[in-house]
Amino acid sequence: MTKSNFLAFDIGASSGRAMLGTLENKQLQLVEVHRFKNHMTQVHGHFYWNIFSLFDELKNGLRKCISEFKVQPDSIGIDTWGVDYALVSGDDHLTGLPFAYRDHRTDNSMDDFFRIMPKEETYMLSGIQFMQFNTLFQLFASVTQKHSALHIAESMLFMPDALNYLFTGERKTEYTIASTSQLLKPGKAVWEEKLFKAAGIPMKLAGEIIKPATPLGNILPEVQTETGSAPIPCIAVAGHDTASAIASVPAKEGNWAYLSSGTWSLLGIESPVPLVSEQTLAMNFTNEGGVDGTTRFLKNIMGMWLIQECKRIWDAQSVLGWHEIVALSSNAKHFKSLINPDDAGFLNPGNMPKAVQDFCERTNQPVPQSKGEIARCIYDSLVLKYKHTLRQIESVTGKKIEKLHIIGGGAHNSMMNQLTADATGIPVFAGPTEATAIGNILLQAKALGKVNSLAEIREIVSNSFEVIKYSPSPKLNWDEAYARFEKL
């Protein structure tokens, strides 16, 4: 195999980076080219994403790859978080900054929508778990609140699609990112018109859906001039970051589950078909699109956002490193207090430590006081949530989960990895930490004919990156803690 170079842009809700991947002889090497912060911008009481600033950062990454790293990539690909979107007018302009999913305009949207279409029917039509910020409810909020942008919009582009559009001028909707919207038929790249109609969303916003690993076209001449790039193709990879990450899970056989651990914890299995039933509705599981026709049957769990927000508040007093936070939590008593990580009060409370304390007080538990006690409460609760979710998956599929692959930034946290193995009683395999960028890069390679299948992608990952195994060695009474947790 000849040497190929691919530039992946991986953007999360708190940061983004450009990662250069070099593929040769079924070995992949990664180099970080550029890293930048991403954050919501509050304007007149609403939260937005500054998409033009993000576009500038991506161009900076491409420029640095060429000028500083002396590599002209064969292609670029972009992945981001799900559900958020930009609207494009008929004369090819964005109608404004995209709303951020933590904006409070959707606080009552689900209940209002269910007065028009019942919850059960909505789930059976979409197969997507209910979260107030799903695209369906965001657009419904814009309809009911009479946002003017809807009147001039001719199309809707999810965040990676919108950035692809800024690079190429091509308006296309990639399947995996569209599947997060709650506007597609389960497991199909087909819009569900009944949901558009019930919400009052114009069908003209529903664009052409394409599969992951589809070339979109070359980057525009103006971008070439600005970055010094050749007219390279922009590839629609698995635009949803979790879909790209799951493509790079180094799993070969057996009944395995994955945990993509970052700002969110995405815990689930790769299924050949959607799993949509009254049982999965009651458990609030989602069926999102994956690579090569697979379905990501999973649950979104409020993940490291909880501790990230605590750190943000604590840093205003005195900056703490992540290792310091883990050390403080290690010295605190296990299971003294527990939270339900997915309580609505944790979505965007402003002061996360206080939100944790308020939850414990409201549920008649000891209120954690120190930073270590609050962090301990969060870590223990997340691990117990993972145990709970795995049990739910087993009850749906009738199959015992034999191992858990943890990928993403959370795979660095050896304490959490060991606690997860102890709590669940199954081996945990941690790594690769750069799973999303790896999946993005190897799907670019697939689009250009350098890789042939999902199985080959996973073979390359296994050849290229270290995976650390954590075996269960429980020293704590997890069953008693779990019984307490379930009552929450």
Q: List where CATH 3.30.420.40 sits in the chain.
A: 4-239, 249-431+452-488
Per CATH, the homologous superfamily of domain 4-239 is ATPase, nucleotide binding domain (3.30.420.40)
Q: What percent of the chain has pLDDT over 70?
A: 100
Model pLDDT, residue 38: 95
Give CA–CA dist 443/78, Å, rounded.
11
- 228 CA to centre of own chain: 31
The residue written with tokens 């090569």 in the block is 292
CA dihedral (197, 199, 204, 209) positive or negative:
negative
The answer on pLDDT for 439 being more than 90 is yes
pLDDT class of 244 with cuts at 50, 70, 90 = very high
pLDDT class of 2 with cuts at 50, 70, 90 = confident
Give CA–CA dist 260/264, Å, rounded.
8
The answer on pLDDT for 456 being more than 90 is yes
What is the full DSSP assignment across 430-477?
E--TTHHHHHHHHHHHHHTTS---HHHHHHHHHHHS--EEE-----S-
Q: What percent of the chain has pLDDT over 90?
A: 97
What is the full DSSP assignment across 135-184?
HHHHHHHHHHTT-THHHHEEEEEEHHHHHHHHHH----EEHHHHTTSS-B
pLDDT class of 265 with cuts at 50, 70, 90 = very high
Question: 249-431+452-488: what fold?
Answer: Nucleotidyltransferase; domain 5 (3.30.420)
- Average pLDDT score over residue span 363-383: 98
Give CA–CA dist 459/250, Å, rounded.
7
Residues ≥6 apart with Cβ < 8 Å to 85: 98, 135, 138, 156, 157, 158, 159, 162, 181
The two three-digit tokens of residue 143, written as one number = 């309809």
Catalytic residues: 241
The answer on pLDDT for 119 being more than 70 is yes
Return the amino acid letter for 222.
E
Model pLDDT, residue 253: 83
The answer on pLDDT for 1 being more than 70 is no
pLDDT tens for 208-234 read 999 999 999 999 999 999 999 999 999
The two three-digit tokens of residue 47, written as one number = 């939260």
Rounded to a whole number, what is the distance in angstroms from the first to the last CA of the chain? 54
Residues ≥6 apart with Cβ < 8 Å to 150: 87, 139, 142, 143, 202
- Average pLDDT score over residue span 269-281: 97
Return mean pLDDT, the chain: 97
Q: 73, exposed or middle or buried, with CB in 10 Å at 0-12, 13-18, 19+?
A: buried
C-beta of residue 377 within 8 angstroms of C-beta of residue 336: yes
The two three-digit tokens of residue 171, written as one number = 């308006």
pLDDT class of 13 with cuts at 50, 70, 90 = confident
pTM of this structure: 0.92
**DSSP 3-state assignment of 340?**
coil
- Average pLDDT score over residue span 326-335: 96
The answer on pLDDT for 245 being more than 70 is yes
